[in-house]
Structure 1
């Protein structure tokens, strides 16, 4: 969770690296003006909302936060994301725009790569949502729900339905219901780790 300006800068830098966005130079600025990356724009705005929500107090900052939340909601609807602030750690990589729904009670660690049609939520009116570790790859269509935990360095397969906790790291989880189907070196999937 972003708690300072230093954290804010760190999260933005880790997200930039995860998305493979090149550092700013004149040609990249021109390219970004002509054809901006909507996911990078979304993630920068997500981090800015988190920073102002967690760190900035005072009347003028709260007015600016309302404006940021309005812009955040607008781009979220445009891209199909329902991702609340303060859920993802640094190094978030959203692979494509499309439907992604995440419960505000969920916690996802650093270096998560997430694809379209993913749902991370609670079960049947419960408050608890999944707690997901660092360096987790979530393939398209995965459904992760309930008061469960997923360990670090895990890959969740396409269209998996994960409704129970797992403990062993470096595994591939897939199927309906999900089960461990193999082992994985996560840095072969999430390249920036």
Structure 2
């Protein structure tokens, strides 16, 4: 999350608090089975629901792998049957849902995937590792090639540069620019005329 301190501050750090509460709820749901822990789990679900409503998230437990990074507050809706791998970065106004045929057939998304703002990913599809999904894209088919960028309505491959072009560090996300191509000026003028 790019923080240089160990615990969230009392005021602010709402997204970080949500992620910690999400992981704590997953732990008590998956690992602790005593009666006392089940009662505490109900309390954690209540708190998670309140924080989710406050931030605009509808993210169920046990969907995202380790390293989840939520960039902003805003509407994020995820189907409970979806599965997302490690180190996913997800932006606001994103929807990961099922298709119209079945609510249990949801996307399976690989590791190190970048999901741009407003992206809609739905259906019984698979997204490979290291894929960058562009803003406002509608992804309704599978992409098995690793390390590419996809965008559009419906989404299609637009580049061979995937989320590998973004370095996720403990302090900040750095975008590595692509090498500049030299373009002949007369070619550009001829294309503009058409």
* Fold match (TM-score > 0.5): yes
The total of aligned residue pairs comes to 169
SS at match of 2:9: helix
SS at match of 2:54: helix
2:105 aligned to 105, 128, 133, which one? 128
Q: Is the 8 A contact 2:149 2:163 kept in 1?
A: no
- State the 1:169 CA deviation: 0.7
TM-score of the superposed pair, with normalisation by structure 2: 0.83
- 1:82 aligns to what? 58
- 1:68 aligns to what? 44
Which of structures 1 and 2 has the larger relative contact order (alpha carbons within 8 angstroms, sep 6+)?
Answer: 1
- 1:99 aligns to what? 75
- 2:20 aligns to what? 44
- State the 1:48 CA deviation: 0.3
CA RMSD, aligned part only?
1.5
Alignment of 1:148 with 2:125, yes or no, is yes
TM-score of the superposed pair, with normalisation by structure 1: 0.84
- State the 1:36 CA deviation: 3.0
Q: Distance in 2 between matches of 1:185 and 1:156?
A: 8
Q: Could you say which structure has the larger radius of gyration?
A: 2
- State the 1:183 CA deviation: 1.4
Q: Which runs of 5+ in 1 are unaligned?
A: 1-18
- 1:174 aligns to what? 151
- 1:161 aligns to what? 138
Q: What do the CA deviations read for 1:164-190 (whole angstroms, capped 9, x no partner)?
A: 001111100100000000011524325
Q: Distance in 2 between matches of 1:106 and 1:163?
A: 14
SS at match of 1:71: helix
- State the 1:125 CA deviation: 4.4
Q: What do the CA deviations read for 1:5-36 (whole angstroms, capped 9, x no partner)?
A: xxxxxxxxxxxxxx112233xxxx6x813x33
Q: 1:75 to 1:190 in 2, by over 3 A?
A: farther
